[in-house]
Structure 1
Amino acid sequence: MHLVVDIGNTKIKAAVFEGTAFLEKFVLDKIEAKKKIEKIFEKYPSISKSILASVGEDDFELLSLLERQSSLVTIDRDSSFPFHNKYATPATLGIDRMVLSAGAVLQYPSVNRLVIDAGTCVTYDFVDSNNNYLGGAISPGLQLRYDAMHNFTAKLPLLYPEIPLHYIGSSTEQAMHSGVVNGMLHELEGFVKQYSEQYQELTIILTGGDADFLAKRLKNTIFANSNFLLESLNLLYLYTITND
């Protein structure tokens, strides 16, 4: 039994797996993470391995706990990945983007893949059918767009994602909702159209905290899976133990 842990920019996500079977997911605030993960070990005493990937600051108390309670495997750039990294600056490529790309290769072999992670930022990562990672794009996520309008203007309020009543906002708040949400949807659809025109047999995976919110409003055929990063971490671990 494995505990998979993703330390993100704002949250810590964890999941328990039995082989490839997804048993339970946990979303943790960083302040409470250590206590919560202690309870996960109590609930699942058969956990023998912990698989960790981090884009946030290291929590040394959490790392120590994982090492005491299990055999800890850290996924980093030195791990084995099932793709050829063609990024011009590979040392700057986030480990979360690498894990997502690995998951796309392992779950969807022999096709072109575009992974869209709608979280704090929105990342676009493309791996072609020959398993070449070519790069992608990064843009502000939904809440970051709201935060920016509030923090860098004098009078715009702080809002949170909400479906706009109409694309023509009839108030300042509705105009902001229309700009953020519809702007994001147009961005997503524009990128998908651009990739689809150049690459045939394109598989699109949408994940991240805002995946479900956005997926219902997209016109394109996508695989929406908010757990894709955790599943990819688990699959990548299973891949590394047979390829290292």
Structure 2
Amino acid sequence: MLLTVDIGNTKIKAAVFEVNALKEKFVFEKNETEKKIKKIFEQHEKIASVILSSVGNREKEIVSELKKYAPVTVIDHEFSFPFINKYTTPATLGVDRMVLAAGAVLQFPDQNRLVLDAGTCITYDFVDRNNHYLGGAISPGLQMRYDAMHNFTAKLPLLYPETPSTYIGDSTNSSLHSGAVNGFVYEIEGFIKEYSRDYEDLTVILTGGDAEFLAKRLKNTIFANSNFLLESLNNLYIYKIKND
């Protein structure tokens, strides 16, 4: 069994895999790390290895805790990925984005792929059918848009994502929901349209914390999978074993 771990900006996500089957998923706060890791290994005694990626802090502390139970592979920029990195500043490319790109290559071979990760920020990552990673975009995530409107104005309230009944807001709250949610959806659909125009047979993968919320609102044909990063870590581990 393999434990995959994603250290995000706000939470830690982990999943236990047996070959390609996801057995159980865990989401917890960073201050719960020691207790949660112990519980995971108590519940799944057959875990033999761990693979981890991180965009957050406390990585060394968490890796040290995991090493008490099993060998840990930490994904970094020196890892062997199944694509050619064409990013002009490769050292600044987030490891999480590289893992998602790798997962797209391994799960959807011989296709043009666009991965949308809707979390704290939304990232767009494009890998062409020749397995060239070309880059993408980064913009504020859904909740960040609500937070910004509240924090950088004097009177706008702090709200949380809610489906607007119409694009015409008839109150301050409904106007905020329309602007945040509809604006977010229009942005995503606009990007997909641009990529689809330039690259035929585009496969779009939507993941991240807001994936399920957004999937119902997007008109484009997409693969919505909130576990895609954890699955990509599992696929990368299998890829590493086959290519060592």
Shorter-chain TM-score bucket reads over 0.9
For the aligned residues, what is the CA RMSD? 0.8
**1:16–1:22: 8 Å Cα contact kept in structure 2?**
yes
Q: Gaps (5+ residues) in structure 1?
A: none
> Aligned-pair distance for 1:238?
1.0
CA contact (8 A) 1:146 1:180 kept: yes
How far, CA to CA, are the matches of 1:241 and 1:192 in structure 2?
A: 34
Taking structure 2 as the reference length, the TM-score comes to 0.98
| 8 Å CA contact retained: 1:34, 1:61 | no
Percent identity of paired positions between Structure 1 and Structure 2: 69
CA contact (8 A) 1:79 1:240 kept: no
Shift of 1:62: 2.2
> In the alignment, does 2:227 pair up with 1:227?
yes
Q: What amino acid is the match of 2:44?
A: Y
Provide the C-alpha distance between the structure 2 equivalents of 1:171 and 1:76, rounded to a whole number of angstroms. 47
* Equivalent position of 2:161 in the other structure: 161
In the aligned structure 1, how far is the partner of 2:196 from the partner of 2:34? 43
Matched residue count = 244
What stretches of structure 2 of length at least 5 have no aligned partner?
A: none
Once residues 171 and 37 of structure 1 are traced to their aligned partners in structure 2, the CA distance between those partners, rounded to angstroms, is: 46
Per-residue Cα deviation, 1:170-196 (whole angstroms, up to 9, x for no partner): 110110000000000000100000000
Paired residue for 1:90? 90
TM-score (norm 1): 0.98
Runs of 4+ off more than 3 Å: none
Alignment partner of 1:76: what SS?
Answer: coil
**Residue 30 (structure 1) aligns with:** 30
1:98-140 CA-partner distances (Å, limit 9, x unpaired): 0000000000000100000000000000000000000000000
Aligned equivalent of 2:146: 146
* Matched residue, 2:106: 106
- How far is 1:240 from its partner? 1.3
Please state whether the residue corresponding to 1:62 is helix, strand or coil.
helix
Residue 60 (structure 1) shift? 3.7
Tell me which residue corresponds to 1:127: 127
Indicate the SS of the match to 2:213: helix
Where in structure 2 are the equivalents of 1:140-219 lying within 5 Å? Answer: 140-219=140-219
